[in-house]
Amino acid sequence: MPLMPSWVASANSAETPFPLNNLPYGVFSVGDEEPRCGVAIGDMILDLASAQSAGLMAMEVEDVFEQPYWNDVMDLGPAFWAKLRARLTEALAEGSSDQAWLAAHLAPLSEVTLHMPFAVSEYTDFYAGRHHATNVGTMFRGADNALPPNWLHIPIGYNGRASSVVVSGTEIIRPNGQLKAPDADAPRFGPCRRLDIELELGAIVGGSTALGQPISVAEADAMIFGYVLLNDWSARDIQAWEYQPLGPFQAKAFATSISPWIVTAAALEPFRCDTPPREVPLLDYLQEPGPMLYDIDLSVTMQPDGAPTASTICRTNYREMYYSTAQQLAHHASSGCAMNVGDLLGSGTISGPDKDSRGSLLELSWGGKEPLTLDTGETRTFIEDGDTLVLHGAAKGDGYQIGFGTCEGRIAPAVAFPKA
Amino acid sequence: MPLMPSWVASANSAETPFPLNNLPYGVFSVGDEEPRCGVAIGDMILDLASAQSAGLMAMEVEDVFEQPYWNDVMDLGPAFWAKLRARLTEALAEGSSDQAWLAAHLAPLSEVTLHMPFAVSEYTDFYAGRHHATNVGTMFRGADNALPPNWLHIPIGYNGRASSVVVSGTEIIRPNGQLKAPDADAPRFGPCRRLDIELELGAIVGGSTALGQPISVAEADAMIFGYVLLNDWSARDIQAWEYQPLGPFQAKAFATSISPWIVTAAALEPFRCDTPPREVPLLDYLQEPGPMLYDIDLSVTMQPDGAPTASTICRTNYREMYYSTAQQLAHHASSGCAMNVGDLLGSGTISGPDKDSRGSLLELSWGGKEPLTLDTGETRTFIEDGDTLVLHGAAKGDGYQIGFGTCEGRIAPAVAFPKA
């Protein structure tokens, strides 16, 4: 599929993340106005609340775009999702008869504030990248026990904390927690010293399942509304001490950042690709009926406070994952767990096979033993106060790209606690 | 404190779970009417929605009791909680001038349907009972590694799945999942064969904290609105295969049952007691400023399909816990994790030191090796289809009790999956 031309001129460039082919969904506000739904096109945003008031779509439910989240649209189901995308594609296409009236509902992206694009119902994070699991397993449990025995059979996941999910740009406060040095008799309480990122894709569940009713991988695939970039900020020292036997808890609960645009599964359709060859056969309930990963280029930049430029510290691709989102969601519901509109599924850290394709500082600095050198000459093992970390992502088409925007966070110092 | 007499005669018995001293909060409906808030008194329920319409309390927010959850009341904060309790105590007390008009707003409990008493925001389950952790650890990791090194320092917890929390009486469908026999080369997928209970108390968070802002144990204690009985149904065979390295996931995601009455922290105030002596000192942020457990008798009964009677399989007490809810909540927020109204915190399985005080079948049957004999002569290791499990709980006062009602679930067979 080539670039689809739009009457919004800035959308017709090979460099824009938001051509007509993309149409990512966000929530925005201008000045003191209430946040509402919009769609990005080039360097503009279409105000869907006002456009709908002016007659964009015939709908029974009139006010879904006036909400500060996309959940109500998701609730309307896949047939409506397709109808909305078709209508927006028609209305914003070059030569559209809607241009005359619709232009008044556009605002420059540079003049709006972006908010969380949806209300997170529950948040689950997976561990589905084989390179990442092998690297981390080697560091935490030794090379002989790197990949747990269940890993090639189960898309391993754990429940995260929805209340900690924040939109790109939100300041990240360095967490406090229990830290125990290997040679110490007892833990102490204080600021995390091994603060890390995890480069992930977040999938947004757009449908619901009833408690007790599992779903197939195909049904799961059809329930995904769209994707965001996701940075599962991690406190490696807190994690190392707390995670046995019940998994990470406070090490992952202080913040998870997402990019502000929901890139729809529909926009990513031309970029579907297969999961890697299976080393051992999967059980029937995890078999994929077709290609369910996507070819999405990803990268991470790091910029210390005051540094003139950001340094790229990782380049990888979503197709490196061993399990797809559809497999993860099918597994999630396999015991009968009810899934809901707005559930967020983190892919797991997306590391590639090479040293510079690793999606966490834990891996990039090999547990802190091999510091990275940034473009400015500064070195880093883990994140320091004032550092800004940014995730970037785009699926690359023929003369266009499906961009995700950025997922950005700057680290603020830990708070003083316990209180004096 | 003695029994407080009420003009509702059935509330004045030493046997009723719901004397005037208790006043537990629930959500009920009669026939096809909408669910709304009520309070139990003896064998009756006071319809707070209609009583408020008739002028029970002067309030700015008029419709909090017309909701199918207590979250809006929680949102009003501790000063309002105290005001509400004081008003109800006054209005239902023997000799109250309100009796004449309020009696019309009572309905027999036997004629109402009880619903989930609150909307669960997020659900966290802890592992804070020392006897339970020691027993399970011995079975899963051997006696030498029974108690993990962090256990005496951290109230270990993991995030559960709020969407799986159901009210007492909801049928529990036996989950499917990946099962792997120790001598098998690969897992298979099928119905759980080691279905279990976990006898817990659930604490309901009635306040909120901002992301990045930890709280003290005293602040945490003041944020707890009330308690319910909680059965964290567990699939032990699914758990054994999936739980390393990131903790339990599908083994705990199919159902968690709670009792329908929120017993307020205020009602439990006379039953406060200390946590057990610390084997090692706790870090400052976990130090308790006073007694923060409660003396609550607990028991579990099991009744096979068609059996004439239920057999008591466990008797224990909440004071057996090593960590209090306040400590758990303070730890939960210690990294800066935002806590919200409606968050549910499972205490962890409440096992006592004796064989018949263990709060799970895993412990009672010692991993299935020592079957229980029920009163009917039937034996059980884990739960069979058609079995009904009921949790009971009450704090015993001087001539009265603060009862929790029951938390009940009957097991239905697994669904056929994957579909043919």
Domains of chain B: 9-115 (2.30.30.230), 123-412 (3.90.850.10)
Q: Which helix (H) or strand (E) holds B218?
A: helix B217-223
Test the B interface: residue of A116, A125, A159, A170 with most B CBs within 10 Å: A159
Mutating which of B139, B335, B343 best tests the A interface, going by the most A Cβ atoms within 10 A?
B335
Report the residue of chain B nearest A137, measured CA to CA. B245
Q: Which residues of A touch B177 (CB under 8 A)?
A: 334-335
The reply to whether residue B335 touches residue A188, judged by beta carbons under 8 angstroms, is no
Please check if B252 is assigned to a binding site. Answer: yes
B153 belongs to the catalytic site: no
The answer to whether A243 contacts B245, with C-beta atoms less than 8 Å apart, is yes
Q: Which of B105, B132, B331, B332 is the catalytic position?
A: B132
First-to-last alpha carbon distance for chain A, in angstroms, is 62
Cβ–Cβ of B248/A246 closer than 8 Å?
Answer: yes
- At position A274, the amino acid (one-letter code) is D
| Binding-site residues of A for Mg(2+) | 232, 252, 256
- Taking an 8 Å cut-off on Cβ atoms, the answer to whether B214 and A249 are in contact is no
Confirm if B47 and B106 have CB atoms less than 8 A apart: yes
CB contact under 8 A, B148 and A244: yes
Chain A, chain B: beta-carbon pairs less than 8 Å apart: 218
Q: Tens place of pLDDT for every residue, chain B, 420 residues?
A: 899 999 999 999 999 999 999 999 999 999 999 999 999 999 999 999 999 999 999 876 669 999 999 999 999 999 999 999 999 999 999 999 999 999 999 999 999 999 999 999 999 999 999 999 999 999 878 898 899 999 999 999 999 999 999 999 999 999 999 999 999 999 999 999 999 999 999 999 999 999 999 999 999 999 999 999 999 999 999 999 999 899 999 999 999 999 999 999 999 999 999 999 999 999 999 999 999 999 999 999 999 999 999 999 999 999 999 999 999 999 999 999 999 999 999 999 999 999 999 999 999 999 999 999 999 999 999 999 999 999 999 999 999 999 999 999 999 999 998 865
For chain B, how big is the Rg over CA atoms in Å?
Answer: 21
For B187, which of A140, A153, A180 is closest by C-beta distance? Answer: A153
Written as one string, the DSSP assignment of B113-136 is EEE-SS----EEEE---HHHHHHH
What order do you get walking across the sheet with B36-41 strand by strand? B106-108, B44-47, B36-41, B25-29, B113-115
**What 3-state DSSP class applies to B60?**
coil
Contacts of A159 in chain B (CB under 8 A): 158-161, 249, 253
What pLDDT score was predicted for residue A145? 87
CB B311 within 8 A of CB B328: no
* Helices and strands in chain B, H and E counts: 10, 26
Q: Nearest-CA distance from B303 to chain A in Å?
A: 22
* CA-based nearest distance B153→chain A, Å: 8
Residue A339 Cα, gap to closest chain B Cα (Å)? 7
CA distance A335 to chain B (A): 5
> Where is the binding site for Ca(2+), in residues of A?
125, 198, 200, 232
Q: Residues A293-319: pLDDT tens digits?
A: 999 999 999 999 999 999 999 999 999
Instruction: Confirm whether residue B198 is marked as ligand binding.
Output: yes
Report pLDDT for B420.
52
Go through chain A and tell me how many residues it has: 420
Q: Looking at residue A60, what is its pLDDT? A: 65
Which stretches of chain A score pLDDT less than 70? 60-62, 420
Q: What is the pLDDT of residue A163?
A: 98
Residue of A nearest to B159 (CA): A159
Residue A58 has a pLDDT of 85
User: Which tokens sit at A331?
Assistant: 């597994």
Distance separating alpha carbons of residues B303 and B283, to the nearest angstrom: 44
The Cα B332–Cα B309 span in angstroms is: 41
Parallel/antiparallel/unpaired status of strands A293-294 and A272-273: antiparallel
**Residue B285 to residue A164, Cβ atoms within 8 A:** no
- The residue in chain B having the minimum alpha-carbon distance to the alpha carbon of residue A246 is B247
Contact B336 A253 (CB under 8 A): yes
**What is the CA A47 to chain-centroid distance, rounded?**
23
Answer for the pair A337, A199: CB distance below 8 angstroms, yes or no. no
Task: For residue B175, give how far its alpha carbon lies from the nearest alpha carbon of chain A (Å).
Answer: 5
Search chain B and give the residue with CA nearest A412: B212
A189/B284 CB distance under 8 A: yes
Does the beta-carbon distance from B211 to A241 stay under 8 Å? no
Buried b (16+ CB within 10 A) or exposed e, B303-316: bbeebeebbebbbb
Strand, helix or coil for residue B193? coil
CA dist B228 and B318 (Å) reads 12
Asked whether B137 and B147 are in contact (CB, 8 A), the reply is yes
- If you measure CA to CA, which chain B residue comes closest to A162? B122
A135 to A355, B146, B283: CA distances (angstroms): 10, 28, 33
* Complex ipTM > 0.90: yes
A122, A158, A334 member nearest B247 (Cβ): A158
Q: How far is CA B18 from CA A277, B5, B10, B338, in A?
A: 61, 12, 9, 34
pLDDT at A420: 53
Asked if B160's CB is within 8 angstroms of A159's CB, the reply is yes
How many other CB atoms are there within 10 angstroms of residue B50's CB atom?
16
* Residue A408, beta-bridge partner list: A390
